[in-house]
């Protein structure tokens, strides 16, 4: 249930109840779940699970997200009785208190209130707190009777017209439960210098156990074990992910700003279906999408738009506008690699309304930097490119893509008319300092965004792109089952040779990024974890690239921002 409140009164002013309900029972996210009955933890259940009384009602932790200058969205889930596992539809309505304080000991509480957790929202709670001070750290917690949740830390954004000196984000994407442990989250949680963490999609995966990766390479097993299709399934899978201690630590420490990609629904999702959806056998696609969206908005600290999408704008003073995209809900179906249909102007990745929204904000923004969160890569990556004077006539004659054979038509490469229109808008309106922030591809990239790939660098760059690798999802060395940075070195060299705007590419590492934004530059520091199959994996810095204000190009720097 979402509750918007006034710090002065602490009384919810509006509530939202999803229209879909389920009474289906899902597989429990944990082997033994402590219960809360009548405001007290049941001792036997707590002993069986090893849980403490303090945490027994709040097995899935707490979270915050979508910070504003005067507020932030708070989240938790309550387990009121043993049967109320995620997706079960079981359990009574439960009163939940919340409070926000300026200090960790909650001696200076500035806002408090109560709301209700019910089966209608899978016993999740979202509170949209307002009336806070800009650019300030706060602590928050929830309570059920005498049981309190762990305390979380969050931070508001600067005032919209303030000239803040800098902002720093963690960046992550693509966290597959079965592929490894979420050590990248633990290392980001340990940092005290982040204003927020950007999650750029594939927060969870829909596959059944042993489908991706193969069973012999799985580090742990998905719950439910089958591919998730129903509302109960998606809720249960979210619940499983939220039992991970490193994921909980990330949410406890930093506000998270998230968008979805395909696996929050199904692999290679588009507006009318997905590669990993079989009509009939797996039901109606629209119903599956509705179920996935409902579970996502229940479990994620994300404000849904009135259209039920995730594209939205957040702002860090006059330093940075963050424009977040939804590249699944409105897109046309993907076409095969090598098809000239990628250039069809009737096909779209963004949808008309979203592209116009993006263009409008880019042109009107008074922020020093325009940051665009895009779940799939916008920079072109193609093989077989011809010189510009030959490329266009050959494409027309034989029906090839005008920018060469794209590697991945699920990216912007498969929807070149949208990209062409956006790049034309950036150059035509003189929009400077545009930085695309990307996940999805399980690799790290630092790219210029060429105005025309065939004539780059003579044709110039319309912006830059920093792509973060996966938290755990398989990349090249994992798929080939070879030592990291052996086979991939030749592949990376070939990609860069055919795409001169690609300045760096790491195909093997897993980890995260840290993006530092100042008036003079935006710098991406890339970090790799030592071994995704180990819970105690270490983290190390591997590369840094930056773009200086006004240059529209990336350049290598030789140390991370301290």
* pLDDT digit string, tens, across residues 240-258: 999 999 999 999 999 999 9
pLDDT digits (tens, 9 = 90+) for 113-123: 999 999 999 99
Report the alpha-carbon distance of residue 562 to residue 554 in Å, rounded.
Answer: 20
Report the alpha-carbon distance of residue 516 to residue 546 in Å, rounded.
Answer: 9
Mean pLDDT across the stretch 374-396? 68
SS (H, E, C) 498-537: HCCCEEEEECCCCEEEEEEEECCEEEEEEEEECCCCCCCC
Domains and CATH numbers, the chain: 1-156 (2.60.40.380), 157-557 (3.60.21.70)
Report the alpha-carbon distance of residue 518 to residue 539 in Å, rounded.
Answer: 25
User: What percentage of the chain reaches a pLDDT higher than 70?
Assistant: 86
Given a cut of 70, whether residue 436 has pLDDT beyond it is yes
Mean pLDDT across the stretch 275-283? 95
pLDDT of residue 401: 58
Task: Among 98-112, 400-414, 425-439, name the one with the lowest average pLDDT.
Answer: 400-414
pLDDT band at 33 (very low <50, low <70, confident <90, very high): very low
Classify burial at 153, counting beta carbons within 10 Å of its beta carbon; exposed 0-12, middle 13-18, buried 19 or more: middle
pLDDT of residue 386: 46
Mean pLDDT across the stretch 447-462? 94
pLDDT band at 562 (very low <50, low <70, confident <90, very high): confident
Tell me the pLDDT of the chain averaged across its residues. 88
Residue among 240, 154, 258, 246 at smallest CA distance from 203: 258
Cβ atoms 49, 34 nearer than 8 A: yes
Given a cut of 50, whether residue 34 has pLDDT beyond it is no
Rg (CA), the chain: 23
What pTM did the predictor assign?
0.89
């Amino acid at each position: 249930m979402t509750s918007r409140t006034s710090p002065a009164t602490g009384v919810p002013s509006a509530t939202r109840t999803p229209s879909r309900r389920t009474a289906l029972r899902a597989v429990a996210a944990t082997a033994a779940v402590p219960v809360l009955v009548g405001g007290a933890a049941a001792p036997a259940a707590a002993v069986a699970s090893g849980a403490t009384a303090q945490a027994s009602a709040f097995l899935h932790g707490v979270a915050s997200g979508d910070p504003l200058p005067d507020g932030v969205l708070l989240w938790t889930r309550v387990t009121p009785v043993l049967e109320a596992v995620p997706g079960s539809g079981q359990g009574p309505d439960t009163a939940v208190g919340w409070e926000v304080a300026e200090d960790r000991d909650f001696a200076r509480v500035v806002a408090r209130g109560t709301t209700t957790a019910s089966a209608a929202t899978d016993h999740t709670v979202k509170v949209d707190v307002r009336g806070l001070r800009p650019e300030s750290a706060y602590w928050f917690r929830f309570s059920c009777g005498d049981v309190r949740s762990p305390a979380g830390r969050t931070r508001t954004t600067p005032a919209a017209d303030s000239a803040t000196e800098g902002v720093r984000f963690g960046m992550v994407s693509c966290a597959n439960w079965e592929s490894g442990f979420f050590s990248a989250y633990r290392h980001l949680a340990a940092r005290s210098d982040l204003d927020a963490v950007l999650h750029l999609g594939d927060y969870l995966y829909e596959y059944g156990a042993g489908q991706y990766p193969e069973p012999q390479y799985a580090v742990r097993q998905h719950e439910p074990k089958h591919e998730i299709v129903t509302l109960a399934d998606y809720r249960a899978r979210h619940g499983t992910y939220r039992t991970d201690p490193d994921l909980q630590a990330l949410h406890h420490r930093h506000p998270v700003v998230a968008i979805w990609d395909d696996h929050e629904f199904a692999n290679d999702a588009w507006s009318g279906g997905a590669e990993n959806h079989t009509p009939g056998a797996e039901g109606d696609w629209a119903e599956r999408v509705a179920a996935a969206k409902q579970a996502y908005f229940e479990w994620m600290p994300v404000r849904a738009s009135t259209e039920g999408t995730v594209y939205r704008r957040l702002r860090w003073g006059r330093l940075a506008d963050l424009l977040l995209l939804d590249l699944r809900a409105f897109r046309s179906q993907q076409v095969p690699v090598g098809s000239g249909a990628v250039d069809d102007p009737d096909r779209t990745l963004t949808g008309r309304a979203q592209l116009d929204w993006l263009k409008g904000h880019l042109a009107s923004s008074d922020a020093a930097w325009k940051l665009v969160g895009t779940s799939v890569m916008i920079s072109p990556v193609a093989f077989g490119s011809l010189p510009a004077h030959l490329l266009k006539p050959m494409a027309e004659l034989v029906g090839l893509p005008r920018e060469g054979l794209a590697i991945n038509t699920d990216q912007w490469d498969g929807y070149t008319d949208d990209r062409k229109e956006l790049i034309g808008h950036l150059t035509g309106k003189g929009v400077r300092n545009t930085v695309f922030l990307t996940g999805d591809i399980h690799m790290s990239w630092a790219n210029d965004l060429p105005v025309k790939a065939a004539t780059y660098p003579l044709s110039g760059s319309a912006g830059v792109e920093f792509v973060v690798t996966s938290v755990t999802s398989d990349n090249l060395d994992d798929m080939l089952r070879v030592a990291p940075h052996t086979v991939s070195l030749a592949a990376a060299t070939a990609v860069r040779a055919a795409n001169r705007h690609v300045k760096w590419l790491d195909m093997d590492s897993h980890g995260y990024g840290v993006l530092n934004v100042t008036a003079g530059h935006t710098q991406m520091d890339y970090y790799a974890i030592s071994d995704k199959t180990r819970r105690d994996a270490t983290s190390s810095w591997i590369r840094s690239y930056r773009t200086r204000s006004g240059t529209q190009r990336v350049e290598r720097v030789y140390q991370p921002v301290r």
